[in-house]
Amino acid sequence: MTADRTLLRTAFRRGVIAALPFVLVVGPFGLLFGVVATDTGLTVFEALAFSIAALAGAAQFAALQLAQDGAPLLIVVLTAAAVNLRMAMYSASLAPHLGPAKLWQRAVVSYCLVDQSYLVAVTEYERAPESPLAEKLAFFFGSALPLCPLWFGSTWVGAMFGKSIPRDYALDFAVPVAFLAMIAPVLRTGAQYAAAVVSVGVTLALWWMPYSSGLLVAGLTAMVTGTAVETIMERKA
Amino acid sequence: MPPIIADKAQFWIMALSLGALTFLLRFSFLGMIGNRVLPPLLLKLLRYTPMAVIPGLVAPAVLWPAATGGETDPARLAAALATVGAGILTRNALAAIAAGVITLFGLPLLIG
């Protein structure tokens, strides 16, 4: 029993350590979200509640941007949720490893499933697929520990700080810069570039459509484009 | 203030329903009993969501910023290009933000 405990503690600690480098990404984005949220008109409490409810940086920024564009409630929610569609893919990819866990454990894992904790966990599970379930869970919760509370904390600090920044200090542009900084470093393959270019082109071409709804069409077209280019490239290779 | 933020009821519906939808997406496969496998085609499609949605989301704000009344602003456009360029070259999100912010505030100083 004590030996088990030691193994679990080791797995948990390795999870924490693996996630630490991402603290440098999550912290500043959380601060920025807090600042932008108060600049958009949210109270400190609302900004923090939004971060706790969604725990999804990109989708939260997307919601603020669309609100600024004047999009109605339904479009804001749908588009911001579309930004999170990749979470279903993360869920599917972790299911073979964590599927046998208790329902409440899987629910907690799901809540803490963000880009960084997913990346850290899937790397670990692919390295050691035969580890016992308890160790896999311990590793996952270890990796979530430095990241998820940090998102709440940095949102709160950013929102407190944001209250004291004068409005309209070119802060409108913080969201586009944050988004582009999130997406540009992960553009690697031709298919990814193609998806990004189609996304921009179709959105601009359909900007006349009401309530920013052209963006949803553009997103779908770009996903199909990326997949098509990838398939063609695979056939050629 | 955008209407959705000003109207508190709308804001809370937005925040809570986005939270619920996001949780459902995360719980989708982990919540199911047994190991169901996603069709490979669907997996491929889902993998492209970030680059399919985010560039389109920011493109109008880059080209036609609301702050300038929708008129293209050289500083904002240059800042966006600098962010993307630095992000691709360094593969580092923070370096990309730094490049964007320096261009956004530095360019107007340079060209007055």
Residue range A48-76, pLDDT digits in tens: 999 999 999 889 999 998 998 889 999 99
B77 is a domain residue: yes
B4/A55 CB distance under 8 A: no
Residue B73 is given by DSSP the state: -
Domain count, chain B: 1
Establish, for the pair of chains A and B, how many residue pairs have beta carbons separated by less than 8 Å.
293
Q: Does A215 touch chain B (CB under 8 A)?
A: yes
Query: For residue B1, how far is the Cα from the chain centroid?
Result: 20
Q: What is the ipTM of this complex?
A: 0.86
User: Which pTM value belongs to this model?
Assistant: 0.83
| pLDDT number for residue A167 | 59
A31 in the same domain as A104:
yes
Q: Kindly state the greatest CA–CA separation across chain A.
A: 65
CB B76 within 8 A of CB B64: no
Q: What's the residue count for chain B?
A: 112
Last residue of a domain, one of A167, A186, A205: A186
Statement to judge: residues A110 and A196 lie in one domain: no
Residue B100 located in a structural domain = yes
Q: Do B49 and A223 touch (CB under 8 A)?
A: yes
Residue B47 lies in a domain: no
> Is the residue at B10 inside a domain?
no
Hey, are the CB atoms on B105 and A170 less than 8 Å from each other? yes
Same domain, yes or no: A8 and A115: yes
pLDDT digits (tens, 9 = 90+) for A136-188: 999 999 999 999 999 999 999 999 998 787 655 667 788 888 889 888 998 99
Residue B91's domain comprises: 53-112
Residue with the bigger pLDDT between A28 and B80: it is B80
Domain total in chain A: 2
Restricting to A residues 63-92, those with a Cβ less than 8 Å away from any Cβ of B are 63, 65-73, 76-77, 79-92
Alpha carbon distance A232, B41 (integer Å): 13
| pLDDT class of B36 with cuts at 50, 70, 90 | low
Domain that holds residue A213: 188-237
Q: Do B44 and A227 touch (CB under 8 A)?
A: yes
B-chain residues near A196 (CB < 8 A) = 51-52, 55
Count the alpha carbons within 13 Å of A77 in the hemisphere toward its beta carbon: 17
The Cα A190–Cα A196 span in angstroms is 10
DSSP H/E element including A97: helix A86-98
Contact yes or no for A171/A158 (Cβ under 8 A) = no
Write the CB contacts of A169 (distance below 8 Å, at least 6 apart in sequence). none
Interface contact B104-A173, CB threshold 8 A: yes
The pLDDT of residue B3 is above 70: yes
Structure tokens at A89: 């893919």
> Are residues A87 and A168 located together in one domain of the fold?
yes
Q: Are A224 and B45 in contact (CB under 8 A)?
A: yes
- B18 domain-assigned: no
Say yes or no: A212 and A173 in one domain. Answer: no
> Cβ of A173 and B61 within 8 Å?
yes
A181 and A194 share a domain?
no
Residues A109 and A80 reside in one and the same domain: yes
The CA distance from A128 to B42, in Å, is 26
Please tell me the predicted confidence (pLDDT) of residue B19.
97
Rg of chain A taking only CA atoms, in angstroms: 20
Interface test with B, best of A183, A208, A211 (most B CBs within 10 A): A183
Residue A155 contacts B where some CB pair is shorter than 8 Å: no
